[in-house]
Chain A
Amino acid sequence: METLKNYLESMFASLPNTVEVLKAKEELYTMMEDKYNELIAEGKPENEAVGIVISEFGNLDEVAESIGIGQMLQEYTYVDRNQIPSEEAEEYVQQYSQHRFWIGLGVMLLIFSPMSIIITSMARIGAFEVIGVAFFFLMIAAGVGIIVFTSINMSKWKYLDEQLCCIDYATANQLKLEKEAHRADKALLLTIGIALCILSVVPVILFSSLFKNFVFTEGIGPALIFVFVGIGVMMIIFAGGRETAINKLLALNDAHTVSGSYRKGQDMPDSYINPGIAGFMKSYWTIITCVYLIWSFLTFDWHITWIIWPVAAIAKTVIWNIWGAREE
Protein backbone atom coordinates (compact mmCIF):
# COMPACT_ATOMS: atom_id res chain seq x y z
CA MET A 1 0.00 0.00 0.00
CA GLU A 2 2.78 2.44 0.93
CA THR A 3 4.45 1.58 -2.36
CA LEU A 4 1.35 2.56 -4.31
CA LYS A 5 0.99 5.78 -2.39
CA ASN A 6 4.63 6.67 -2.96
CA TYR A 7 4.35 5.81 -6.63
CA LEU A 8 1.36 8.10 -6.99
CA GLU A 9 3.11 10.87 -5.07
CA SER A 10 6.13 10.68 -7.31
CA MET A 11 3.90 10.74 -10.40
CA PHE A 12 2.18 13.84 -9.11
CA ALA A 13 5.39 15.49 -8.02
CA SER A 14 5.47 17.81 -11.01
CA LEU A 15 1.88 19.00 -10.68
CA PRO A 16 0.90 22.10 -8.74
CA ASN A 17 -0.94 21.74 -5.47
CA THR A 18 -4.50 22.63 -6.48
CA VAL A 19 -7.89 21.33 -5.49
CA GLU A 20 -8.33 19.55 -8.84
CA VAL A 21 -5.00 17.83 -8.53
CA LEU A 22 -5.70 16.70 -4.99
CA LYS A 23 -9.06 15.33 -6.06
CA ALA A 24 -7.54 13.50 -9.01
CA LYS A 25 -4.91 12.02 -6.76
CA GLU A 26 -7.48 10.86 -4.28
CA GLU A 27 -9.70 9.31 -6.94
CA LEU A 28 -6.84 7.55 -8.66
CA TYR A 29 -5.63 6.24 -5.36
CA THR A 30 -9.05 4.78 -4.58
CA MET A 31 -9.09 2.99 -7.91
CA MET A 32 -5.59 1.65 -7.42
CA GLU A 33 -6.44 0.53 -3.92
CA ASP A 34 -9.59 -1.28 -5.11
CA LYS A 35 -7.66 -3.08 -7.76
CA TYR A 36 -4.85 -3.96 -5.39
CA ASN A 37 -7.25 -5.32 -2.78
CA GLU A 38 -8.97 -7.48 -5.33
CA LEU A 39 -5.69 -8.86 -6.64
CA ILE A 40 -4.64 -9.71 -3.11
CA ALA A 41 -8.01 -11.35 -2.50
CA GLU A 42 -7.41 -13.44 -5.61
CA GLY A 43 -4.29 -14.72 -3.91
CA LYS A 44 -1.65 -12.75 -5.76
CA PRO A 45 1.52 -12.04 -3.81
CA GLU A 46 1.89 -8.43 -2.70
CA ASN A 47 4.74 -7.58 -5.05
CA GLU A 48 2.95 -8.92 -8.08
CA ALA A 49 -0.23 -7.05 -7.17
CA VAL A 50 1.68 -3.78 -6.86
CA GLY A 51 3.39 -4.49 -10.18
CA ILE A 52 0.12 -5.11 -11.98
CA VAL A 53 -1.55 -2.02 -10.56
CA ILE A 54 1.36 0.20 -11.52
CA SER A 55 1.71 -1.24 -15.01
CA GLU A 56 -1.97 -0.63 -15.71
CA PHE A 57 -2.02 2.83 -14.22
CA GLY A 58 -1.38 4.79 -17.39
CA ASN A 59 -0.06 8.22 -18.14
CA LEU A 60 -0.66 11.30 -16.06
CA ASP A 61 -0.43 13.75 -18.96
CA GLU A 62 -3.87 12.63 -19.94
CA VAL A 63 -5.25 13.53 -16.52
CA ALA A 64 -3.47 16.85 -16.49
CA GLU A 65 -5.08 17.63 -19.83
CA SER A 66 -8.59 16.76 -18.70
CA ILE A 67 -8.49 18.68 -15.45
CA GLY A 68 -7.28 21.70 -17.33
CA ILE A 69 -3.75 21.95 -16.05
CA GLY A 70 -2.01 20.52 -19.09
CA GLN A 71 -1.42 24.05 -20.26
CA MET A 72 -0.27 25.09 -16.83
CA LEU A 73 2.14 22.20 -16.75
CA GLN A 74 3.98 23.52 -19.75
CA GLU A 75 3.89 27.12 -18.66
CA TYR A 76 4.55 26.39 -15.05
CA THR A 77 7.24 28.77 -14.04
CA TYR A 78 9.15 26.69 -11.66
CA VAL A 79 9.79 28.86 -8.64
CA ASP A 80 13.02 27.67 -7.25
CA ARG A 81 12.32 26.64 -3.74
CA ASN A 82 14.86 25.46 -1.33
CA GLN A 83 13.79 21.94 -0.50
CA ILE A 84 14.73 21.11 3.02
CA PRO A 85 16.01 17.56 3.41
CA SER A 86 14.32 15.51 6.07
CA GLU A 87 17.43 15.33 8.29
CA GLU A 88 17.64 19.07 8.27
CA ALA A 89 13.95 19.39 9.13
CA GLU A 90 14.47 16.95 11.96
CA GLU A 91 17.48 18.92 13.17
CA TYR A 92 15.45 22.12 13.12
CA VAL A 93 12.69 20.56 15.20
CA GLN A 94 15.25 19.21 17.65
CA GLN A 95 17.09 22.46 17.94
CA TYR A 96 13.99 24.61 18.18
CA SER A 97 12.69 22.44 20.95
CA GLN A 98 16.01 22.84 22.80
CA HIS A 99 15.86 26.54 22.13
CA ARG A 100 12.49 26.70 23.82
CA PHE A 101 13.92 24.77 26.74
CA TRP A 102 16.71 27.32 27.18
CA ILE A 103 14.30 30.23 26.83
CA GLY A 104 12.16 28.60 29.50
CA LEU A 105 15.20 28.18 31.71
CA GLY A 106 16.20 31.82 31.20
CA VAL A 107 12.71 33.04 32.07
CA MET A 108 12.69 30.73 35.08
CA LEU A 109 15.90 32.30 36.39
CA LEU A 110 14.40 35.75 35.93
CA ILE A 111 11.36 34.70 37.92
CA PHE A 112 13.52 33.07 40.59
CA SER A 113 15.68 36.16 41.03
CA PRO A 114 13.61 38.06 43.66
CA MET A 115 13.71 34.93 45.80
CA SER A 116 17.25 35.51 47.00
CA ILE A 117 16.37 38.98 48.26
CA ILE A 118 13.30 37.71 50.11
CA ILE A 119 15.18 34.91 51.83
CA THR A 120 18.32 36.82 52.75
CA SER A 121 16.30 39.75 54.07
CA MET A 122 14.89 37.35 56.63
CA ALA A 123 18.25 37.25 58.30
CA ARG A 124 18.07 40.97 58.99
CA ILE A 125 21.85 41.19 58.67
CA GLY A 126 23.33 43.77 56.32
CA ALA A 127 25.97 41.52 54.83
CA PHE A 128 23.40 38.86 54.03
CA GLU A 129 21.16 41.33 52.29
CA VAL A 130 24.04 42.46 50.11
CA ILE A 131 24.66 38.87 49.09
CA GLY A 132 20.94 38.56 48.35
CA VAL A 133 21.02 41.58 46.05
CA ALA A 134 24.17 40.26 44.39
CA PHE A 135 22.44 36.92 43.73
CA PHE A 136 19.43 38.77 42.41
CA PHE A 137 21.52 40.50 39.74
CA LEU A 138 23.52 37.37 39.07
CA MET A 139 20.36 35.43 38.30
CA ILE A 140 19.02 38.16 36.04
CA ALA A 141 22.33 38.28 34.21
CA ALA A 142 22.37 34.50 33.83
CA GLY A 143 18.75 34.43 32.64
CA VAL A 144 19.22 37.19 30.08
CA GLY A 145 22.52 35.65 29.00
CA ILE A 146 20.91 32.28 28.32
CA ILE A 147 18.09 33.87 26.34
CA VAL A 148 20.44 35.99 24.24
CA PHE A 149 22.80 33.10 23.61
CA THR A 150 20.12 30.64 22.48
CA SER A 151 18.50 33.28 20.27
CA ILE A 152 21.79 33.94 18.52
CA ASN A 153 22.25 30.22 18.17
CA MET A 154 18.86 29.93 16.45
CA SER A 155 19.58 32.69 13.97
CA LYS A 156 21.14 30.20 11.57
CA TRP A 157 17.60 29.05 10.78
CA LYS A 158 16.59 32.51 9.67
CA TYR A 159 16.61 31.36 6.08
CA LEU A 160 13.35 29.50 6.73
CA ASP A 161 11.69 32.91 6.92
CA GLU A 162 13.75 34.66 4.31
CA GLN A 163 13.82 32.15 1.49
CA LEU A 164 11.11 30.24 -0.23
CA CYS A 165 11.38 26.75 1.14
CA CYS A 166 9.40 23.56 0.92
CA ILE A 167 9.50 20.05 2.27
CA ASP A 168 8.76 16.85 0.41
CA TYR A 169 5.92 14.44 0.98
CA ALA A 170 7.84 11.95 3.10
CA THR A 171 9.15 14.64 5.41
CA ALA A 172 5.71 16.20 5.80
CA ASN A 173 4.29 12.82 6.68
CA GLN A 174 7.01 12.08 9.16
CA LEU A 175 6.54 15.47 10.82
CA LYS A 176 2.82 14.95 11.10
CA LEU A 177 3.38 11.61 12.78
CA GLU A 178 5.86 13.18 15.15
CA LYS A 179 3.39 15.90 16.03
CA GLU A 180 0.75 13.31 16.80
CA ALA A 181 3.18 11.37 18.96
CA HIS A 182 4.05 14.43 21.02
CA ARG A 183 0.54 15.61 21.57
CA ALA A 184 0.17 13.82 24.89
CA ASP A 185 3.55 15.04 26.17
CA LYS A 186 2.65 18.57 25.30
CA ALA A 187 -0.72 18.39 27.03
CA LEU A 188 0.87 16.89 30.14
CA LEU A 189 3.61 19.52 30.37
CA LEU A 190 1.11 22.28 29.78
CA THR A 191 -1.26 20.98 32.43
CA ILE A 192 1.46 20.58 35.05
CA GLY A 193 2.83 24.02 34.18
CA ILE A 194 -0.53 25.70 34.58
CA ALA A 195 -1.29 23.72 37.73
CA LEU A 196 2.01 24.86 39.28
CA CYS A 197 1.17 28.48 38.57
CA ILE A 198 -2.23 28.14 40.17
CA LEU A 199 -0.91 26.19 43.15
CA SER A 200 1.90 28.67 43.78
CA VAL A 201 -0.06 30.43 46.53
CA VAL A 202 -0.73 27.23 48.44
CA PRO A 203 2.58 27.19 50.40
CA VAL A 204 1.99 30.75 51.63
CA ILE A 205 -1.49 29.92 52.85
CA LEU A 206 -0.37 26.62 54.34
CA PHE A 207 2.74 27.98 56.06
CA SER A 208 0.96 30.96 57.53
CA SER A 209 -1.53 28.70 59.25
CA LEU A 210 0.96 25.97 60.23
CA PHE A 211 3.97 27.93 61.44
CA LYS A 212 4.30 30.90 63.67
CA ASN A 213 7.96 31.39 62.74
CA PHE A 214 8.27 34.40 60.45
CA VAL A 215 11.09 32.74 58.45
CA PHE A 216 8.43 30.43 57.08
CA THR A 217 5.51 32.84 56.85
CA GLU A 218 7.40 35.80 55.44
CA GLY A 219 10.42 34.14 53.83
CA ILE A 220 10.16 30.61 52.54
CA GLY A 221 6.42 30.76 51.83
CA PRO A 222 6.56 33.78 49.52
CA ALA A 223 9.83 32.55 48.01
CA LEU A 224 8.11 29.30 47.06
CA ILE A 225 5.62 31.30 44.98
CA PHE A 226 8.50 32.19 42.68
CA VAL A 227 9.76 28.62 42.60
CA PHE A 228 6.32 27.29 41.61
CA VAL A 229 5.61 29.99 39.05
CA GLY A 230 9.15 29.77 37.64
CA ILE A 231 9.01 26.03 37.06
CA GLY A 232 5.42 26.29 35.81
CA VAL A 233 6.22 29.01 33.29
CA MET A 234 9.27 27.10 32.13
CA MET A 235 7.15 24.03 31.45
CA ILE A 236 4.55 26.08 29.61
CA ILE A 237 7.19 27.65 27.39
CA PHE A 238 8.87 24.33 26.68
CA ALA A 239 5.63 22.40 26.08
CA GLY A 240 4.65 23.90 22.73
CA GLY A 241 8.15 24.10 21.29
CA ARG A 242 8.24 20.98 19.19
CA GLU A 243 4.78 21.55 17.80
CA THR A 244 5.53 25.15 16.89
CA ALA A 245 8.60 24.01 14.97
CA ILE A 246 6.68 21.28 13.16
CA ASN A 247 3.84 23.61 12.26
CA LYS A 248 6.30 26.08 10.88
CA LEU A 249 7.87 23.45 8.64
CA LEU A 250 4.49 22.14 7.52
CA ALA A 251 3.36 25.64 6.67
CA LEU A 252 6.22 25.97 4.18
CA ASN A 253 4.22 24.02 1.63
CA ASP A 254 1.36 25.86 0.03
CA ALA A 255 -0.61 25.87 -3.18
CA HIS A 256 2.45 27.00 -5.10
CA THR A 257 4.81 24.26 -4.10
CA VAL A 258 5.27 21.42 -6.44
CA SER A 259 5.12 17.94 -4.99
CA GLY A 260 1.83 19.00 -3.54
CA SER A 261 1.06 16.61 -0.82
CA TYR A 262 0.06 18.88 1.91
CA ARG A 263 -3.23 20.25 2.98
CA LYS A 264 -3.76 22.97 5.47
CA GLY A 265 -4.07 21.54 8.93
CA GLN A 266 -6.63 22.69 11.41
CA ASP A 267 -4.12 24.43 13.59
CA MET A 268 -2.52 26.47 10.86
CA PRO A 269 -2.98 30.21 11.20
CA ASP A 270 -6.22 31.40 9.61
CA SER A 271 -5.90 33.25 6.36
CA TYR A 272 -8.03 36.14 5.21
CA ILE A 273 -8.96 37.39 1.76
CA ASN A 274 -8.32 41.04 2.48
CA PRO A 275 -4.66 41.82 3.29
CA GLY A 276 -5.67 44.70 5.56
CA ILE A 277 -7.83 42.43 7.65
CA ALA A 278 -5.16 39.77 7.59
CA GLY A 279 -2.72 42.26 9.09
CA PHE A 280 -5.22 43.33 11.71
CA MET A 281 -6.06 39.75 12.65
CA LYS A 282 -2.41 38.92 13.08
CA SER A 283 -2.19 41.22 16.07
CA TYR A 284 -5.84 40.81 17.04
CA TRP A 285 -5.30 39.56 20.58
CA THR A 286 -2.53 42.08 21.24
CA ILE A 287 -4.87 44.88 20.22
CA ILE A 288 -7.67 43.47 22.36
CA THR A 289 -5.32 43.22 25.34
CA CYS A 290 -4.28 46.85 24.88
CA VAL A 291 -7.89 47.98 24.66
CA TYR A 292 -8.72 45.95 27.75
CA LEU A 293 -5.87 47.40 29.80
CA ILE A 294 -6.39 50.97 28.65
CA TRP A 295 -10.10 50.85 29.28
CA SER A 296 -9.64 49.18 32.65
CA PHE A 297 -6.98 51.55 33.92
CA LEU A 298 -8.78 54.64 32.73
CA THR A 299 -12.09 53.77 34.29
CA PHE A 300 -11.09 51.23 36.94
CA ASP A 301 -14.28 49.38 36.10
CA TRP A 302 -12.56 46.02 36.28
CA HIS A 303 -15.81 44.34 37.15
CA ILE A 304 -17.20 45.30 33.73
CA THR A 305 -14.19 45.40 31.43
CA TRP A 306 -13.72 41.63 31.35
CA ILE A 307 -16.70 41.53 28.99
CA ILE A 308 -14.19 42.49 26.26
CA TRP A 309 -12.85 38.93 26.16
CA PRO A 310 -16.01 36.98 25.29
CA VAL A 311 -17.08 39.75 22.92
CA ALA A 312 -13.69 39.70 21.20
CA ALA A 313 -13.81 35.93 20.83
CA ILE A 314 -17.24 36.09 19.19
CA ALA A 315 -16.18 39.00 16.98
CA LYS A 316 -13.21 36.98 15.78
CA THR A 317 -15.45 34.15 14.62
CA VAL A 318 -17.73 36.63 12.88
CA ILE A 319 -14.78 38.27 11.09
CA TRP A 320 -13.50 34.87 10.05
CA ASN A 321 -16.89 33.92 8.66
CA ILE A 322 -17.11 37.06 6.59
CA TRP A 323 -13.54 37.48 5.33
CA GLY A 324 -11.91 34.15 6.00
CA ALA A 325 -10.26 32.42 3.07
CA ARG A 326 -11.53 28.90 3.09
CA GLU A 327 -10.14 25.96 1.29
CA GLU A 328 -12.78 24.20 -0.70
Chain B
Amino acid sequence: MGEISSDVIRGYNDTIILFLLLDSPSYGYEISKKIKSISEEKYLIKETTLYSAFTRMEKNGYIESYTQNSESGKKRTYYRITDQGRSYYREKCEEWNLTKEVIEHFITEGGENGNS
Protein backbone atom coordinates (compact mmCIF):
# COMPACT_ATOMS: atom_id res chain seq x y z
CA MET B 1 0.00 0.00 0.00
CA GLY B 2 1.38 3.31 -1.05
CA GLU B 3 -0.39 6.58 -1.11
CA ILE B 4 -4.07 7.01 -1.68
CA SER B 5 -4.82 7.70 -5.31
CA SER B 6 -5.88 11.29 -5.62
CA ASP B 7 -8.65 10.35 -8.07
CA VAL B 8 -10.43 8.33 -5.45
CA ILE B 9 -10.20 10.78 -2.63
CA ARG B 10 -10.87 13.91 -4.67
CA GLY B 11 -14.61 13.76 -4.12
CA TYR B 12 -14.06 13.80 -0.38
CA ASN B 13 -11.53 16.58 0.05
CA ASP B 14 -14.38 18.97 0.73
CA THR B 15 -15.80 16.67 3.36
CA ILE B 16 -12.44 16.38 5.08
CA ILE B 17 -11.88 20.14 5.13
CA LEU B 18 -15.41 20.92 6.30
CA PHE B 19 -15.01 18.38 9.11
CA LEU B 20 -11.92 20.21 10.33
CA LEU B 21 -13.74 23.54 10.24
CA LEU B 22 -16.78 22.30 12.18
CA ASP B 23 -15.42 23.34 15.56
CA SER B 24 -13.37 26.41 14.79
CA PRO B 25 -12.05 28.49 11.91
CA SER B 26 -8.62 27.57 10.64
CA TYR B 27 -6.06 28.41 7.96
CA GLY B 28 -4.33 26.56 5.16
CA TYR B 29 -1.30 25.02 6.71
CA GLU B 30 -3.05 24.11 9.97
CA ILE B 31 -5.68 22.19 8.01
CA SER B 32 -3.13 20.30 5.96
CA LYS B 33 -1.25 19.45 9.13
CA LYS B 34 -4.39 18.13 10.80
CA ILE B 35 -5.28 16.04 7.76
CA LYS B 36 -1.84 14.51 7.91
CA SER B 37 -2.01 13.69 11.62
CA ILE B 38 -5.63 12.50 11.72
CA SER B 39 -5.09 10.24 8.70
CA GLU B 40 -2.01 8.88 10.49
CA GLU B 41 0.18 10.27 7.70
CA LYS B 42 -1.63 8.17 5.12
CA TYR B 43 -3.02 11.15 3.32
CA LEU B 44 -0.98 14.22 2.47
CA ILE B 45 -3.04 16.92 0.82
CA LYS B 46 -1.19 19.02 -1.74
CA GLU B 47 -1.15 22.78 -1.30
CA THR B 48 -2.72 23.32 -4.69
CA THR B 49 -5.51 20.83 -3.96
CA LEU B 50 -6.22 22.57 -0.69
CA TYR B 51 -6.30 26.01 -2.19
CA SER B 52 -8.55 24.89 -5.05
CA ALA B 53 -10.94 23.35 -2.55
CA PHE B 54 -11.02 26.60 -0.56
CA THR B 55 -11.83 28.75 -3.57
CA ARG B 56 -14.40 26.32 -4.91
CA MET B 57 -16.20 25.97 -1.59
CA GLU B 58 -16.11 29.69 -0.99
CA LYS B 59 -17.76 30.21 -4.37
CA ASN B 60 -20.42 27.69 -3.43
CA GLY B 61 -21.00 29.43 -0.12
CA TYR B 62 -19.89 26.55 2.11
CA ILE B 63 -17.11 28.52 3.73
CA GLU B 64 -16.16 32.14 4.25
CA SER B 65 -12.69 33.59 4.38
CA TYR B 66 -11.32 36.49 6.37
CA THR B 67 -7.86 37.78 7.10
CA GLN B 68 -6.50 37.94 10.58
CA ASN B 69 -3.09 38.31 12.11
CA SER B 70 -1.95 35.11 13.73
CA GLU B 71 -0.14 34.86 17.07
CA SER B 72 3.17 35.25 15.28
CA GLY B 73 1.90 38.49 13.77
CA LYS B 74 1.71 37.04 10.27
CA LYS B 75 -1.27 37.94 8.14
CA ARG B 76 -3.24 34.84 7.30
CA THR B 77 -6.43 33.93 5.54
CA TYR B 78 -8.75 32.04 7.86
CA TYR B 79 -11.72 29.99 6.76
CA ARG B 80 -14.95 29.51 8.64
CA ILE B 81 -17.80 27.13 7.83
CA THR B 82 -21.25 28.50 6.97
CA ASP B 83 -24.66 26.97 7.75
CA GLN B 84 -24.89 25.96 4.14
CA GLY B 85 -21.51 24.29 4.55
CA ARG B 86 -22.76 22.35 7.55
CA SER B 87 -25.75 20.97 5.71
CA TYR B 88 -23.55 20.13 2.74
CA TYR B 89 -21.24 18.29 5.13
CA ARG B 90 -24.16 16.24 6.46
CA GLU B 91 -25.20 15.40 2.90
CA LYS B 92 -21.70 14.27 2.07
CA CYS B 93 -21.59 12.10 5.18
CA GLU B 94 -24.79 10.34 4.18
CA GLU B 95 -23.51 9.99 0.65
CA TRP B 96 -20.35 8.38 1.98
CA ASN B 97 -22.26 5.95 4.16
CA LEU B 98 -24.22 4.87 1.15
CA THR B 99 -21.13 4.64 -1.03
CA LYS B 100 -19.31 2.64 1.59
CA GLU B 101 -22.26 0.27 1.93
CA VAL B 102 -22.45 -0.26 -1.82
CA ILE B 103 -18.74 -0.68 -2.43
CA GLU B 104 -18.45 -2.95 0.61
CA HIS B 105 -20.46 -5.58 -1.28
CA PHE B 106 -17.79 -5.80 -3.91
CA ILE B 107 -14.79 -5.89 -1.63
CA THR B 108 -13.41 -9.21 -0.51
CA GLU B 109 -10.41 -10.38 1.36
CA GLY B 110 -10.19 -13.36 -0.96
CA GLY B 111 -7.49 -12.12 -3.32
CA GLU B 112 -7.14 -12.32 -7.08
CA ASN B 113 -10.34 -14.09 -8.09
CA GLY B 114 -12.58 -12.03 -5.92
CA ASN B 115 -15.64 -14.32 -5.87
CA SER B 116 -14.19 -17.22 -3.97
Contacts and interface: CB of A to CB of B under 8 A. Distances in A.
Interface string A34-60: 110010000000000000000011111
A114 to B, nearest CB: 59
Contacts of B76: 30
B52 interface: yes
B100 interface: no
B51 A24 contact: yes
Given A27-B28, A27-B77, A32 B56 contact: no
A60 B46 CA distance: 10
A28 B52 contact: no
B23 to A, nearest CB: 20
A62 interface: yes
B48 A28 contact: yes
Interface residues of A, number: 19
Nearest to A58: B46
Interface stretch (A63-71, A158-166, A173-181, A263-271): A63-71
B32 interface: yes
Interface in B38-53: 44, 46-53
A62 B49 contact: yes
B29 interface: yes
B46 A66 contact: no
Nearest to A66: B52
Contacts of A27: 28, 51, 54, 77
A319 interface: no
A56 B46 contact: yes
A27 B49 CA distance: 12
**Taking each of B51, B55, B56, which has the highest tally of chain A beta carbons within 10 Å of its own beta carbon?**
B51
Contact of A65 (B46, B50, B52): B52
Given A66-B55, A67-B55, A57 B48 contact: yes
A58 B49 contact: yes
B29 A31 contact: yes
Best-surrounded residue of A35, A56, A59, A66 (most CB of chain B within 10 A): A66
Nearest to A61: B48
Contacts of B29: 30-31, 34-35, 38
A31 B44 CA distance: 14
A35 B76 CA distance: 14
A38 B29 CA distance: 10
Nearest to B77: A27
B56 A31 contact: no
B28 A30 contact: yes
B47 A32 contact: yes
Most buried by B among A24, A27, A59: A27
Interface in B51-90: 51-56, 74, 76-77
Given A66-B55, A66-B56, A67-B55, A30 B77 contact: yes
A28 to B, nearest CB: 6
Interface of B: 27-29, 32-33, 44, 46-56, 74, 76-77
21 contacts: A24-B55, A27-B51, A27-B54, A28-B48, A28-B51, A30-B27, A30-B74, A30-B76, A31-B29, A32-B47, A34-B29, A35-B29, A35-B47, A38-B33, A56-B44, A57-B46, A58-B46, A58-B47, A62-B49, A62-B52, A65-B52
